[in-house]
Amino acid sequence: MRFLLSILILMQLLSLTACRQGDTGVTGQLLFNQQPLGQARVEFYLKSGNERSSSPFSVVTTDVGGVFRASLPPGNYYLIGKKKEQGGGVNRMLMAEYPQNPVVVDEGFSPLAPLELKEIGFEGAIHSDGQTEVRGQLFADGEPLPDAFVYVYTRGDTLTGPAYGLIERTGEKGYFTLKLSAGRYWLAARKRHDGSRVGDPQAGDLNGVYPHNPLILEAGEKRQLRDWSLEPVTREAKQRRLAKGMFTPTTTWLSGRVIDEDQTPVAGIYLFAYRDSRMIGKPNFISMPTDKDGRFKIYLDKGGEFFVGARSTFGGPLEPGEWVGTYDVRPDHGVDAGSDQATDLGDILVREVW
Amino acid sequence: MRFFLLLFLVFLPSLVSARVIDAVERWSGKVQVDEPLRVEKGGQLIIAPGTRVVLSAGIEVVGQLQATDAEFSGVNWPGLVLKGTSTRTWLKNCRISGAQTGISVMGGQPQLQGLVLENNRIGIELRQKSKALVESSVFRANTRVGLFVKDEAEATVQNNSFTHQGKFGAYIYRAQPKVFSGNRFIDNPVGLMISHYGSNPLISQNLFQNNKIGLKVDRTARPQVTTNRFIKNQVGIKLYRRSDPAIELNRFVKNRQAIHVSFSSYPQIRHNDFADNPQAVVLEYQSSLWEQQKGAAARQAQIVSRGAFAGQKQNQVTEDQRRARNLDGTVDARQNWWGEKATLELKSKSLSADANLSWIADGLDQPFFNEAGEQYPLDRVRWSPFGQQPYTTGILP
């Protein structure tokens, strides 16, 4: 029996080596904003999600037309397109997994559907060239405002949440200095009553967007901003925002229960649903904290594939004592949610980080 | 009408439903809190001595809370949250038990004095540059941490007692308390933990006794540890993963290991007194060569693997901030007093600076250690010149 098995393995190996690598593979094209994306990486992995090794099996680069051609031996591959772009003082990462993964390589070269990459948050902080800087002073009610936070964004569509590239605290008399480089920036500032850097502003907190956004800086420029006043968030404004916000019930949601290693429900845990499998940056949807039975609901705008994680806080690095966990039925923490449906995730296990 | 409402609250065991306090409210007797309660800015909750508050929900205070000789208890209740409160918020001689976090302090300067924090998951957590005062309080049998000082908190922590916590008596994480002095850490797995770059507090006049580890310093923290007493701990001070504290004018008595140095930690150990410690300084997995060759790469790998959901980089501290400055293969422990017997031996034998001392375990005892099939030379302790007499007499009791 053992001998027969050896023969079979040997025959399999011989058939693999008989098939020359250059004869089979895939071709395709990467896009960004529906334009061809040149000089991007196309990575092929043998495994998906958590099983993926740190190094891809093969990597090719797209040409100026965004086209790639990869020679691969027959088999199944998980394709990821990536491009790191630097410019204007900002690093941005474009990335996407091929939706029809795994790609099956069988005979000859198979053409793949074009793959549109997405920007997935900011890779690292905004770069300072050491020369370019912006100075300003924050006020509230006519008085200089110390210990407020100024947030620098590189996109103007959403000036909230942790997608900022730089954060600076104002000094004793409300002054701040932002060390940047040439580029286009949007500024927002907040002072929360509890002193926190991140989190949803509450009624009474101070909030404001720089009225002369965007700020377009040239290399080496030293810009003095006009005085900038923050206004308190009113209870009515807060309610209006909440009514439009991600906690508003919809007809599509993910639900489940958070438990610890002793199977005990854990209260006070936030659930995060990302569209991006890397689960970084600002989550697309957040639950209210779990109740005393560990129950949660994440309301979604519509169905689709989401990647789900759980933490006892949000924003910033993991801290000792924090609870953290992921939805682990699939190794990539993903789940397919149907539109206008409730999708039960079952139990999500969290553990303490020390 | 308001008077009658006040009477109702004061004299009846009350079920406080979800509501907001935005004026002055006084509690006494027994109060049951089953729905979240928020003391708004401008609101004031005054709790009279002898009040017993039983909670299954939390109390969030943005305005003022004043409680003296009161008791807050429950089963796994969320705890008190003090958000940006002034010195006009205080708790004095209160007992807080059964909470997830007894008191969470988010910024502000609340005054927390003479408290007993018992059987909570975490006794007190200080965050967001809080300048709270935590004084003369007892932290006992909290299942994880007695006192957490996080997030650049600048608190004053003095004359407290930490006993029998589940993991750590106190934990300073990316914070620099203004005062951390006069505290007693007894019978804890780790008395005091100081972790991460940016945690450089002055730790002085504290007592660490009968702990498994008295003080643990980890991940590039650089506290100044001075005028403390370390008595009968399994390990007095454990330095781990690039931790370079200044250890000066402390007294180490009857610890199994007084100072344990590992994983590229390079402290300055000066003017301390060591008495009756079987091992005064121990080096383990500590090699300048390893640090030169692999230190930066090992730290980078660790950073990448510690994202919240295993995918997020956290490059908040640069390698330049983490790296060791002087890698000459030695750990500096000059000018210490090694105890009467040891000093007599040093004097009588006129030992040279490279002599192998019985109370020091270093590269002279174990020249190499193995990692991933490679051998790395274990560093040595520079102990000469040594102190001729105790340094802490007259300074420490």
A199 interfacial to chain B (CB closer than 8 Å): no
Contact A293/A265 with Cβ under 8 angstroms? yes
Write down the domain spans for chain B: 1-157, 182-397
Tokens, residue B48 = 């009279």
Where residue A20 falls among pLDDT bands split at 50, 70, 90?
very low
Is residue A307 over pLDDT 60?
Answer: yes
Interface test with chain B among A202, A275, A278, A319, by most B beta carbons within 10 Å: A319
Q: What is the pLDDT averaged over residues A133-153?
A: 92
Is residue B302 over pLDDT 80?
Answer: no
Q: What is the pLDDT averaged over residues B336-346?
A: 93
Lowest-confidence range among A75-84, A293-302, B163-172? A75-84
Sign of the CA dihedral B274, B277, B279, B285? negative
Where residue B12 falls among pLDDT bands split at 50, 70, 90?
very low
Q: What is the pLDDT averaged over residues B203-230?
A: 96
What CA dihedral angle connects A328, A331, A333 and A338, to 10 degrees? Answer: -100
Query: Closest Cα to residue A89, out of A150, A188, A178, A211?
Result: A178
Residues of B in contact with A333 (CB under 8 A): 309
* CA–CA dist B43, B38 (Å, integer): 9
Please tell me which of the candidates B83, B306, B309 has its beta carbon nearest to residue A193: B83
Tokens, residue A333 = 């923490």
User: What is the pLDDT, as a whole number, of residue A219?
Assistant: 82
* CA–CA dist A350, A294 (Å, integer): 11
User: What is the pLDDT, as a whole number, of residue B368?
Assistant: 93
A172 interfacial to chain B (CB closer than 8 Å): no
Where residue A52 falls among pLDDT bands split at 50, 70, 90?
low
Is residue A18 over pLDDT 80?
Answer: no
Is residue A158 over pLDDT 80?
Answer: no
User: What tens digit of pLDDT does each residue of B237-267 get?
Assistant: 999 988 989 999 999 999 999 999 999 999 9
Where residue B320 falls among pLDDT bands split at 50, 70, 90?
low
Is residue B319 over pLDDT 70?
Answer: no
DSSP track, B212-259: SEEEEEETT---EEES-EEES-SEEEEEESS---EEES-EEES-SEEE
Lowest-confidence range among B116-130, B181-195, B302-316? B302-316
Where residue A299 falls among pLDDT bands split at 50, 70, 90?
very high
User: What is the pLDDT, as a whole number, of residue A92?
Assistant: 60
Please enumerate residues of B whose Cβ is less than 8 A from a Cβ of A: 41, 56, 62, 76, 78, 83-84, 100, 106-108, 122, 127-130, 144-145, 148, 150, 167, 171, 173, 195, 306-316
User: What is the pLDDT, as a whole number, of residue A19?
Assistant: 36
User: What is the pLDDT, as a whole number, of residue A54?
Assistant: 53
Is residue B15 over pLDDT 60?
Answer: no
Interface test with chain A among B75, B194, B309, by most A beta carbons within 10 Å: B309
Other beta carbons within 10 angstroms of residue A280's beta carbon come to 20
Q: What is the pLDDT averaged over residues B110-131?
A: 96
Where residue B3 falls among pLDDT bands split at 50, 70, 90?
very low
Lowest-confidence range among A192-206, A283-297, A306-320? A192-206
Helix then strand then coil, in percent of chain B rounded to 5, is: 10, 45, 45
Q: What is the pLDDT averaged over residues B144-170?
A: 96
Where residue A162 falls among pLDDT bands split at 50, 70, 90?
low
Is residue B297 over pLDDT 60?
Answer: yes
In the block, residue with structure tokens 């590269």: B363
Is residue B175 over pLDDT 90?
Answer: yes
* CA–CA dist A221, B220 (Å, integer): 36
Nearest CA in chain B to A276: B311
Contact A266/A259 with Cβ under 8 angstroms? yes
Q: How far is B128 from chain A (nearest CA, A)?
A: 6
On whether the pTM is more than 0.90, the answer is: no
Q: What is the mean pLDDT of chain A?
A: 81
User: What tens digit of pLDDT does each residue of B347-394 get?
Assistant: 888 888 889 999 999 999 999 998 878 899 999 999 999 999 999 999
Is residue A125 over pLDDT 60?
Answer: no
Please tell me which of the candidates B122, B308, B311 has its beta carbon nearest to residue A324: B308
> Residue B309: CB partners within 8 Å, gap ≥ 6?
A279, A309, A324, A326, A333
Contact B199/B150 with Cβ under 8 angstroms? no
* CA–CA dist B25, B43 (Å, integer): 8
Residues of A in contact with B309 (CB under 8 A): 279, 309, 324, 326, 333
User: What is the pLDDT, as a whole number, of residue A5?
Assistant: 44
User: What tens digit of pLDDT does each residue of B58-73 get?
Assistant: 999 999 999 999 999 9
User: What tens digit of pLDDT does each residue of B63-111 get?
Assistant: 999 999 999 999 999 999 999 999 999 999 999 999 999 999 999 999 9
Is residue A247 over pLDDT 70?
Answer: no
User: What is the pLDDT, as a whole number, of residue A304?
Assistant: 93
Higher pLDDT, B221 or A46: B221
User: What is the pLDDT, as a whole number, of residue B14?
Assistant: 38
Where residue A218 falls among pLDDT bands split at 50, 70, 90?
confident
Q: What is the pLDDT averaged over residues B311-320?
A: 50
CB–CB of B316 and A318 under 8 A?
no
Other beta carbons within 10 angstroms of residue A215's beta carbon come to 18
- The three-state DSSP-derived secondary structure of A230-287 is EEECCHHHHHHHHHHCCCCCCCEEEEEEEECCCCCECCCCEEEEECCCCCCCCCCEEC
Higher pLDDT, B303 or B278: B278
Higher pLDDT, B303 or A101: A101
CATH architecture entry for B1-157: 3 Solenoid (2.160)
List the domains of chain A with CATH numbers: 17-122 (2.60.40.10), 132-234 (2.60.40.1120), 252-352 (2.60.40.10)
Is residue B332 over pLDDT 80?
Answer: yes
CB–CB of B315 and A124 under 8 A?
yes
User: What is the pLDDT, as a whole number, of residue A88?
Assistant: 41
User: What is the pLDDT, as a whole number, of residue A200?
Assistant: 72
Where residue A240 falls among pLDDT bands split at 50, 70, 90?
low
Where residue B284 falls among pLDDT bands split at 50, 70, 90?
very high
Contact B203/B226 with Cβ under 8 angstroms? yes
Q: What is the pLDDT averaged over residues A297-304?
A: 92
Query: Closest Cα to residue B286, out of B226, B333, B231?
Result: B333
- The amino acid at residue B213 is I
Query: Closest Cα to residue B147, out of B196, B85, B105?
Result: B105
ipTM of the complex, rounded to two decimals? 0.78
User: What is the pLDDT, as a whole number, of residue A178?
Assistant: 93
Q: What is the pLDDT averaged over residues A300-321?
A: 87
Query: Closest Cα to residue A77, out of A52, A41, A54?
Result: A52
Residues of A in contact with B130 (CB under 8 A): 195
